[in-house]
Structure 1
Amino acid sequence: MEYNFLLITVFLLAFGSCKEKDLKSIVGDNLPDIQMTTTDQILNYEIENGSSPSIQYFFFDQHKIIDSFQKGFSDVGGQKKVDANTTYHVLSVTKTFTAIATLQLVERGLLELEKPVIHYLPHFQYGSEITVKQLLNHTSGIPNPIPLSWIHLESEDQSFDRNSFFDLIIEKNKKVKSKPNEKFAYSNLGYVILGQLIEKVSGKTFEDYIIENIVRKLPISQDDLAFSISNSHDHAKGYHKKISFSNLILGLFINKSKFMGENEGKWKPFKNYYVNGAPYGGLIGKPSAFVSYVQELMNENSSLISEKSKTMMFQENKNNPNTGMCLGWFSGELNGVKYFAHAGGGGGYYCEIRIYPKINRGSVIFFNRTGMSDERYLDKIDRFYI
């Protein structure tokens, strides 16, 4: 993820986010005096050094897994190891699904990217100039209030009213921060509005649309990827480091006694929760499901999206400075090879997915520890194969 300076400062204080200089302590300057030459060495060190209770990593082509790593605990207190059935919150990786859903509706003639949002949502509060495309590439100027408290317990889900919750959030944050397409500014709230847009033009709930038009087109079972925890026994607990400055001030953002359990060794666990806004961060699933998702996007005859729309989705918006932001995806380059990626992070979880279209390769990595910034962690692992 990318945030403005104020939000980065707050997140670093609140969650100990990992930016470039901090990443050196993960696999750089503080490593023992050995040459780390394999993915297993680096990822094993992460586990042994206590950087995450568990890690799952996959590198693959369009048809098969090339390398994988699965190690650690999904439940530290119960000493339950991760396996192929372990599920994780993927948080902002969900935005890539929201982007594909939007482009599917464009293909069907139900949406136009360059049309103002207010054309579809008459009660849209941010003016008549913001377009659908600007919501997708985070140039709408819509604010991004800190979303750390935008969660509710699994037990509260039946009574949670998403629309009422976000009506209040929008009312409190109804002034734009910049003019449309003036600059890049990451906005979870912008993707909440995209979810409302998808619901309005499709006639389905956001969750039902994603399941019917994306998830069910993948070669996975219904429990592999969803907007709810299919099996609590297989769901990885999310953890935050107990002894950390960020843990001391976490209570400024969430009710720790409500959302977190008793200490488990060096870790403080989150209770099972859901993100309030499904369109920006609600998906939960197995790493293997996201392997299948990226593999399907590699397919020239993808069932998810046409080649024309895929090209549009991966087209960078040239801001000044250039952020590498496309439609729901970030772009980057590793050893001269272009990739498109998205990270997902929040309380107790961090993950990344990535696709290298020119060489038909992809990768995913999942942690059940807090992460809030786009760490580009896959740069450190994928470099062995790129």
Structure 2
Amino acid sequence: MSAIDNTLTKLVQDGKTPSVHYTFFNQDSILHTFKTGFADVQHQQEVSDDTLYHAYSATKTFTALAILQLAEQQKIDLDQAASTYLPDFPYPKEITVRQLLTHSAGIVNPIPLSWIHLDTEHSTFDGNNFFRQIILKHATIKSKPNEKFAYTNLGYILLGLMIEKVSGLTYEDYVRENILRRLNLKSEEVDFTVADSTRRAKGYHRKNSFSYFLLGLFMDKQKYMDKAEGIWKPFKPFYVNGAAYGGLIGTPNAFVQYVQALLKPDSVLISNEYKKMLFAENHLNKHQPSGMALSWFCDHLNGTKYCAHAGGGGGYYCEIRIYPEKGLGSVVMFNRTGMTNEKYLDKLDQYFIS
């Protein structure tokens, strides 16, 4: 649709992002797709269907799906104490697995912008030791379990550890074997590491911006960023410290295939019964809806319910979305910094959802 394409083209022309890739689809077909801009500004490398973007927190939906798969196998009970599966769990023993999934455990959320390491450090980086220190530092809760919604990356680090304890696999290998492989997605399409660095979109931050100044308060820009490319300051290639809360890197189409599999009534990923649980909105202690299902945010566009998750941080921003009642979904990816859930898909999907 020309209105969508014009909107996205203008974003690039106005210097709001170096590139963008958007797709709207049903369970079987692509209904609309559009991409424009540069994966590499300096070398004028245009974005393509093979371009890899960091998905950041959209990875949490894979973590939740993995927990549901293990629950379906009766290896995890969502309403059991998380400490049942994590003997060293440092938080109150009444916190359940479900409360970790729905961000209602009351665990704090330190700003994670500095939770990255250069790809040259990846072979020696010890994520478990890194987060052991972080969790010990933030071992108290700020609200009672299921008292209110409070988004936390640490809760999903704990869920990743739970997947490892219960399955006997590393978190990354569990996701590869039980989600990506079932979708016939190859490692060059989506994974936790990048074999071909030329296909990864450079992550950028607008140089002359207040947020660029703030970035220096949370990370070592000299270490993690490269020389300016026009109006953009690029990040050096890096990985997120915790795979379970934000480590996936992939093509937009890989995430399209993932959402399409969740749209299908007989999904290869999970049974209908457990998929219904995945998208059921959590209600808090006083029975008010929390706006959060099992990792998926719940909201409405033009009166139509959707479940979604954004992923944002230094250099990249994305959103994935599913409209369960209509059998539709969408994915958008940018290679510029995103700090909050922008609900950018509202602007694009409105042309399809009425």
Smaller-chain TM-score bracket: over 0.9
Q: What is the alpha-carbon distance in structure 2 between the residues aligned to residue 344 and residue 131 of structure 1?
A: 25
Whether 2:328 is the aligned partner of 1:375: answer no
Change (3 A) 1:37 1:335: farther
Give the Cα–Cα distance (whole angstroms) in 1 for the partners of residues 125 and 293 of structure 2: 32
Which 10-residue stretch deviates more, 321-330 or 263-272? 321-330
| SS at 2:181 equivalent | helix
CA–CA distance in 1 between the matches of 2:95 and 2:159? 12
Counterpart position of 1:138: 103
- How is 1:1-386 mapped onto 2 (pairs within 5 angstroms)? 38-319=3-284, 322-386=289-353
8 A contact 2:185–2:254 mirrored in 1: yes
| Deviation per residue, 1:85-126 (Å, 9 max, x gap) | 100000000000000000000001110000001111111110
d(CA) in 1 for partners of 2:90, 2:250: 34
Change (3 A) 1:323 1:374: farther
**206-215 or 219-228: bigger deviation:** 219-228
4+ long deviations beyond 6 Å:
none
Q: Return the offset for 1:219.
A: 3.5
TM-superposition CA deviations, 1:221-253 (whole Å, max 9, x none): 221010011311010000000001121232211
Q: Secondary structure at the match of 1:204?
A: coil
CA contact (8 A) 2:148 2:290 kept: no
Deviation for aligned residue 1:196: 0.4
The structural deviation recorded for 1:37 is 6.8
More deviation, 215-224/74-83:
215-224
Shift of 1:186: 0.3
Between the two proteins, the alignment pairs up a number of residues equal to 351
- Which letter does structure 1 place at the counterpart of 2:49? A
1:59 shift after superposition: 0.5
Percent identity over the alignment?
Answer: 56
Q: CA deviation at 1:270?
A: 0.4
> Can you give the 5+ residue segments of structure 2 that lack an aligned partner in the other structure?
none
Whole-Å separation in 1 of the counterparts to 2:214 and 2:88: 37
1:162·1:277 contact (CA, 8 Å) conserved in 2? yes
Query: Which residue of structure 2 aligns with residue 12 of structure 1?
Result: none
TM-score, length of structure 2 as denominator length: 0.97
CA distance in 2, matches of 1:186, 1:58: 27
**Distance in 1 of aligned mates of 2:2 and 2:168:** 52
Do the aligned residues in 1 keep the contact of 2:240 with 2:246 (CA within 8 Å)?
yes
